Amino acid sequence: MSVEREKRIAAEAAAELVGSGMTVGLGTGSTVAYLLPALARRELSIRCVATSPRTEQAARELGIQVEPFGGFDRLDIAIDGADQIAPDGWLVKGGGAAHTREKIVAAAADRFVVIADSSKPVDALRPPVPLELLEYGLATTLRRLADVRRRDVPRSPDGGVIADYHGDIGDPVRLAADLAGAPGLVEHGLFPPDLVATILVGRGDSVERRDLA
């Protein structure tokens, strides 16, 4: 079964969770690319924020109302993909270099829904873990952080330098705390289970749903 089909059916299932009048956070990535037309087809009255300029442009081209995030103090729902999904609900995100905005939007939502194809659930998280770093003092930040390499990609939507942690993940709670405490690190791509409400995974012709909250 096509991975692209699995992405599409997971995204379409997530679109059905959105109702008129909701405020919606739109993630970034190849699975969200299927979410946007699914939402547009429903012709709902919704107000959205986007986690990247790419998502914002694509949504507006489909007639979806996208507004600056500064106009919201909370969101009803946020929907986004994931690079890896562990059995306990930990995620690795940030392959598209928008994980800082994605985490802010996920945390602002009453319900964060993760959409993915069947290749994304894993037995245990593995490197790399995406990072966003400040340009200021970058050389010292890279020297301080072990097993981190700068990624040869454009900056984040907010101008941050994108890098990846390539060391052992082990306990994601410990690693998340260690990374978060490093001066010069804006955000890491480890998302804890307490951010996640629902995981929708396309598998073959059906969607597996797992509710964490």
* Helix and strand totals (H; E) in the chain: 6, 13
Active site residue 102: yes
Catalytic annotation, pick one of 6, 102, 132, 187: 102
The label of the residue with tokens 């890491």 reads 188
Prior bond of 172 cis (ω within 30°):
no
**Chain centre to alpha carbon of residue 1:** 24
In sequence order, which residues have a C-beta less than 8 Å from that of residue 170 and are 6 or more positions away?
none
| Active site (catalytic) residues | 102
